[in-house]
Amino acid sequence: MARTLAMFTDTSLCIGCRACQVACKQWNELPMEEPEWTGSYQNHAHFTDKTYRLVRFIEKPQANGELQWLLMSDVCKHCAQAGCLDACPTGAIHRTEYGTVNINQDVCNGCRYCVSSCPFGVVAFNHDTGRANKCTFCNDRIHNGLGPACAKTCPTESIQFGFRDELAAKADKRVAKLKEMGYANAQLYGADTNGPLGGLNAFFLLLDRPSTYNLPEKPLLPQRNVFVDSVLAIGAALVVGVGAMVSFRERGGKGGGDA
Amino acid sequence: MLRSPEWHLLIVWYFFLGGIAGGAYFTAAIADNFGGPRDRNVVRTGYILSLLMIGVCGMLLILDLGTPSRFLNMLGAFKFKDPMSIGAWMLGVFGLFAFVSSALSLGGDEARAGLRRKWSLVGTIFGFFLASYTGVLLSATALPFWSDARLMGALFLASGASTGMAAISLLLYLSGDSAGEGFKKVKRADRFAIVFEMAVLVLFLVLLGGAAAPLVSGHLAPLFWGGLVALGLVVPLLLDLLGGMRVPAVVPAVLVLVGGFVLRYVIVMSHA
Instruction: Report pLDDT digits (tens) over A100-144.
Output: 999 999 999 999 999 999 999 999 999 999 999 999 999 999 999
Q: Does A165 share its domain with A213?
A: yes
Average pLDDT over residues B221-229: 98
Residue A153 predicted with pLDDT over 70: yes
**A89 and B84: CB-CB below 8 Å?**
yes
Quickly list DSSP for A38-95.
-SSS-SSSS-BTTBS-EEEEEEEE-TTS-EEEEEEEE----BSS-HHHHH-SSS-EEE
> What b/e string do you get for B127-159 counting C-beta neighbours within 10 Å, with b at 16 or more?
bbbbbbbbbbbbbbbbbebbbbbbbbbbbbbbb
* Position B1 in a domain: no
**Could you tell me if the ipTM is greater than 0.85?**
yes
How many domains does the structure of chain B reveal?
1
| Helical pair B152-174 and B40-64, crossing angle rounded to 10 deg | 120
* Position B135 in a domain: yes
* Distance between B139 CA and the closest CA of chain A, angstroms: 7
Q: pLDDT (tens digit, 9 = 90+) per residue, A49-81?
A: 999 999 999 999 999 999 999 999 999 999 999
* Position B2 in a domain: no
Contacts A123 to B, Cβ<8 Å: 3
Residue A258 predicted with pLDDT over 60: no
Bond prior to B8 in cis (omega within 30° of 0): no
Q: What CATH number is associated with residue B262? A: 1.20.1630.10
**B76 and A91: CB-CB below 8 Å?**
yes
Note whether B135 contacts A: Cβ–Cβ < 8 A.
yes
Residue of A nearest to B123 (CA): A259
Cα–Cα separations (whole angstroms), residue A100 to A7, A159, A195, B134: 10, 16, 17, 29
The predicted pLDDT at position B224 comes to: 98
Q: Which residues contact A37 (CB under 8 A, 6 or more apart)?
A: none
Q: Does A234 share its domain with A200?
A: no
Q: Does A215 share its domain with A229?
A: no
Q: What CATH number is associated with residue A183? A: 3.30.70.20
Where does a domain end: A219, A236, A251? Answer: A219
Cβ–Cβ under 8 Å, residues B18 and B57: yes
* Position B49 in a domain: yes
A241 → closest Cβ in B30, B77, B200: B30
Residue A250's region, left for phi above 0, alpha for psi from -120 to 50, else beta, is: beta
At CA A80, angle to CA A88 and CA A31, rounded to 5? 60
Residue A1 predicted with pLDDT over 80: no
Measured CA to CA, the distance from residue B113 to residue B153 in angstroms comes to 32
Q: pLDDT (tens digit, 9 = 90+) per residue, B75-113?
A: 999 999 999 999 999 999 999 999 999 999 997 667 789
* Domain of residue A72, residue span: 5-219
Measured CA to CA, the distance from residue B45 to residue B63 in angstroms comes to 27
> Residue B249 — very low, low, confident or very high, per pLDDT cuts 50/70/90?
confident
Contacts 24+ apart (CB under 8 A), A181-189: A183/A12, A183/A207, A185/A209, A186/A12, A189/A215
Contacts A56 to B, Cβ<8 Å: none
Q: pLDDT (tens digit, 9 = 90+) per residue, B165-213?
A: 999 999 999 998 878 899 999 999 999 999 999 999 999 999 999 999 9
The predicted pLDDT at position A74 comes to: 98
Q: Does A239 share its domain with A151?
A: no
Residue A255 predicted with pLDDT over 70: no
3-state secondary structure of B14: helix
Note whether B88 contacts A: Cβ–Cβ < 8 A.
yes
Q: Closest Cα partner for B77 from A129, A40, A86, A75?
A: A86
Q: Does A112 share its domain with A79?
A: yes
**A244 and B27: CB-CB below 8 Å?**
yes
Measured CA to CA, the distance from residue A134 to residue A151 in angstroms comes to 17
> Residue A257 — very low, low, confident or very high, per pLDDT cuts 50/70/90?
very low
The predicted pLDDT at position B111 comes to: 77
Q: Does A86 share its domain with A49?
A: yes
The predicted pLDDT at position A65 comes to: 92
Q: Does A238 share its domain with A125?
A: no
Q: Closest Cα partner for A206 from A13, A6, A5?
A: A13
Q: Closest Cα partner for A75 from A109, A128, A113, A28?
A: A28
Q: What is the DSSP letter of A32?
A: P
Measured CA to CA, the distance from residue B232 to residue B188 in angstroms comes to 17
Q: Does A213 share its domain with A229?
A: no
How many domains does the structure of chain A reveal?
2
* Domain of residue B243, residue span: 9-269
Contacts A232 to B, Cβ<8 Å: 150-151, 153-154
Residue of A nearest to B40 (CA): A248
Q: Which contiguous run of DSSP H or E holds residue A28?
A: none
At CA A191, angle to CA A189 and CA A197, rounded to 5? 80
Q: Does A240 share its domain with A195?
A: no
Contacts B4 to A, Cβ<8 Å: 115-116
Q: Does A187 share its domain with A244?
A: no
B150 → closest Cβ in A112, A228, A246: A228
Residues of chain B above pLDDT 90, percent: 89
B136 → closest Cβ in A108, A123, A226: A226
Q: Does A148 share its domain with A236?
A: no
> Residue A250 — very low, low, confident or very high, per pLDDT cuts 50/70/90?
confident
pTM, rounded to two decimals: 0.95
Residue A252 predicted with pLDDT over 80: no
The predicted pLDDT at position B244 comes to: 60
Note whether B67 contacts A: Cβ–Cβ < 8 A.
yes
**B79 and A245: CB-CB below 8 Å?**
no
Q: pLDDT (tens digit, 9 = 90+) per residue, A154-174?
A: 999 999 999 999 999 999 999
3-state secondary structure of B51: helix
Q: Does A185 share its domain with A233?
A: no
A229 → closest Cβ in B82, B153, B189: B153
The predicted pLDDT at position A2 comes to: 81
Measured CA to CA, the distance from residue B128 to residue B161 in angstroms comes to 9
At CA B44, angle to CA B228 and CA A248, rounded to 5? 65
> Residue A256 — very low, low, confident or very high, per pLDDT cuts 50/70/90?
very low
